[in-house]
Copies of this chain bind each other. A is one copy, B any other.
Amino acid sequence: MTSPPNPLSLLVRKLEIHARLTDDDRKAVLALPWTMRTVDAGTYSIREGDRPEGCAVLVSGFAFRQKLTGDGARQIVALHIPGEPLDLQHLFLDVADHSVQTLTRADLAVIPRVALQKLVRESAGVAHAVLVTILVEASIFREWVLNVGRRPSRERLAHVLCEFAARLDAQGLAEEYGYELPMTQEQLADTLGLTPVHVNRTLKSLETEGLIKRDRRFIRFPDWERMRRAADFSERYLHLQPQLSGSPA
């Protein structure tokens, strides 16, 4: 009789995308305390202004980070896929500067924040992996500033679609020819800094050009290379190779 799989093994896989872990590091992560929570779409993991308590790992489902302007306009500043930790960004910050919300129904493994803080303080290997993961997230934020600041709507949308595909692929979640984009056009608009109407037209235009095919929210790329070029997409900023320079011997 085998025990049920530890949901934190997904977190290990995510950390190992960017850094090497020793057997002890892996064990230490898997030994973290956690509780499972199944939540509906739209559930907050943390709200701007709150004090972080837990650190959720997305076991299944999707999530996003958002900020609001004083006028109530929303900007989605990050998307998250299964296996990704949602609250590392607030691991050592005492008041949340943004909110994190599920995009779909999701299973969360919630680790007490203090337990993770303790592990990060005590294990150099885990600390390194967490640090690299945060550096990579920062790199993605920078790319988003560029995307939203300087790319016209067509490329902007295409770029986000490519990033999503590349990250799903890296986490071993890519389906053969595309993926289900788990968001409404309004949410997509808020990640792109556009209006929903314009997103709709831009999607149509990508489809007319043969860069994507759509069936409901399922997106397919008939010609990935052409799509990549149209999106001005390069994987570099995702830093998908494990970063070796700072690894412990």
Report A's interface with B, CB cutoff 8 A: 19, 48-49, 65, 67, 69-71, 73-75, 77-78, 89-95, 97-98, 113, 117, 120-121, 124, 127-128, 130-132, 134-139, 141-146, 148-151, 155, 192-193, 232, 236-237, 239, 241, 243-246, 248
Contact = CB atoms under 8 A, between A and B. Distances in A.
Contact of A93 (B117, B139, B144, B149): B139
A70 to B, nearest CB: 4
Contacts of A136: 93
Total identical chains: 2
Query: Which of A67, A132, A236 counts the most chain B CB atoms within 10 A?
Result: A67
A128 B132 contact: no
A131 B92 contact: yes
Given A91-B135, A243-B92, A73 B142 contact: no
A124 B71 CA distance: 42
Contacts of A239: 93-95, 97
